[in-house]
Structure 1
Amino acid sequence: MSILILIFVLLLVIGLPIAFVLGGTSLFYFFFLSKVPMEMIGQKLYAGIDNFVLLAIPFFILAGELMNRSKITDALIEFSRILVGKIPGALAQVNIVASVFFAGITGAGVADTAALGSILIPAMTKEGYTPEYSAAVTCTSSVIGPIIPPSIVMIIYATCTGESVGALFAAGFIPGLMIALALMIMCFYYAIKQHHPRRTEKLTAKFVVTTLRKSIVALLCPIILIVGIFSGYFTPTEAAAVACLYAIIAGMFILKTLTLKDIWESLKISVVAGSVILLLISMAALFAQVLSIERVPAAIATGILAFTQNKYVFLLIMNGVLLIAGMLLDAGVNVMLIAPILLPVAIRLGITPLHFALVLLVNLNIGLVTPPMGVCLFAAAPIARVSFERVAKASLPFIAAEFVALLIMTYVPELILFVPRLLGYL
């Protein structure tokens, strides 16, 4: 294992994409350190993505692209202005609330950062917020995207562990709203301290009605998906396809802002992005086979159980490990590598699998904004036209607020389990 760790770190340091780091390390093991038949490599690569649920990933990516090109993002922002525009630090609050609504469409944090950031970061800067503060709010609120359903990383987790996608989706509502509330409190604090602007003009009934009429098209999409999945009318994969169909109908025939060229461009982007994720899953499955052959999960589980039999101590240790892991690797990769190792330990300590899943997923999604590998930070910095370092520094108080919310849901499991229990998943 020491040789494998060295190879893994070396490939990572020289700048190879993480999929090829996982694949290269695995191939080195099979060629030089193992007597496993070579035919097994191809079989494992294929088996890693031979799952109907994974079809939801490219479909949700496509739905997000279509919705963004249909200008549905604009409608969500205007609706958010009506809801929280009077609160101190109005645009920052709008940013967070818009992320909650957008989370019900895309399921990806980076998509949230790019779509909302391109509109709200310049708008916030124009109103007097510093560019780095605007980018920090956008980045940290994008964490909500993969927590509130639908969620691509939840689909990956379900594939790795066999957990119900519907149960994971149900469990994500309250944690996502808790993260949003923590960020809104932080924005309120800064608004009072730094005298951030808020909306002062009164809203006319005509403006509210017009905005609601435009927003209903955007808001219906997550409602259709959620009701459809939880009522059993369609599976999460079918829901993703329905989201694409709805986006095309809404964009072309209702809003009339989506063109055939937009659809073609969205298809190209979703094919590339979906292929990258599926390649990553396939390579991670191969690497997981290496770990299994070397009995690494069993060794780690034995070590943890020898150190502590207290589930609360285990959860604290897990949060610390995941914090470090989230700083270094993508959330999807961490899910595929860490979840199958820690889940059996959690179950032996009496932790509900669904509670464990959401604590792990929320923690790793916070990794989207933790330096040095926070991909949302990299996405927001060019939009704000400031350095990565400045955005990262401005994000720290908001990341701290997210960790407070994480600790609360870690030690009050009912906050995670309430909705799944209500819907009959527990």
Structure 2
Amino acid sequence: MASSEAQYESDDGMDELMDKFKTQRYKNAFSENSWEEELNKIPMFMKAAPEEIDPKEYPELACLQAIIHDEDRPPEEQAKGLKDEGNVYFKEKNYQKAIVSYTAGLKKKCGDQELNTVLLTNRAAAHFHLGNMRSALNDAAAAKKIKPDHLKALIRGVQCCMELRIFAEAIQWCDEGLKSHPTDKKLLELRAAADKHKRAAERDARKAKAKEKKLQGEKEALLAAIKDRGIKLLQPAKPRKHGSDIEGEDEGASAAISQLSLDGLSSQEVTGAQVFLDEQGSLQWPVLFLYPEHQQSDFISAFCENNCFIDHLSVMFGEELPPWDSDRKYHPQNLQLYFEDEQKETLYQLNPETSLLKVLQHKRFFVKGGTPSFIVLVKDSSFWKQFLTGKKIQRL
């Protein structure tokens, strides 16, 4: 029963709707007398296009014609449309698309130089906001070439030069602009800023040059001091060419030492320290002590050439011994020092009372990597006997 009532209500509503169609007219329908004429105005149903298109009478067709025949418009009109399109993208901060639009406008090669100047200046602004300073400067220069007094192009050119840190060119742009716009506040401000930065850059360049000259003088003095003392620096090994082997140990050593240069003082890269001349004219060397028994080492960043080895050993192994010396045997009186001549496979034992300079001047001592290194052993220990077994030993 309920189902029949629902069907009745539905049918009743449909009848009411159909009655409205009979009594009320559809507002947007074609008229009965001219429907064919009206249908023919819709591009999809046209049998033939009219000879003259009135946008008011044929709005849809006029729109399609504009899209299809855009290239038929004058280049100036097309370029202006692309400029306006680019400006919309620019306001939306979509600088990449703005550049595409401005570039398309320039490709129209219209004869309106004012419009071309604006397109170039606007594209320069878009490049500027993207950080493409060199491209922005090129566009500003092109715009200035067309119209030398174009204020926006001049200002943009100055800003690009400032960002590129070519301050002399920035001043030149300002001076050119101020000829046409002598009271322009922005140009005056930019020129003052460019001049300030230029003087600061020149001052920094002078300081850097003076510092470089001072460092070069210090390097030359350092190398001269090393050379005067007869100290030999072992240069980094270089691959030998085929057939260039030098016969004889002494000749090989001299080839490795070759010409004295800072290449043999490269310890700074590894240890952070390098030999230097102090105010008294003495060489201060970075020195490495090696303890092979415990695979440990000590690094002295500034060992004066006039100091003896015992001076440092007494400090390093004084009242407090290192934690790795579990047997508590590394006392200054128990220690022996050696340097190794790798070429002759010989260990040279040196007296702890000897100065560093005397050891460095030994004919078989070569400073490797800018850092003299020495082996420290405990006399009469089991490791001492084992380490020296089979090795050639010489005393200084």
> Fold conserved (TM > 0.5)?
no
TM-score range, shorter chain: under 0.3
Higher relative contact order structure (alpha carbons within 8 Å, sequence separation ≥ 6): 1
Question: 1 or 2, which has the higher strand percentage?
Answer: 2
Query: Which structure has the larger Rg over C-alpha atoms?
Result: 2
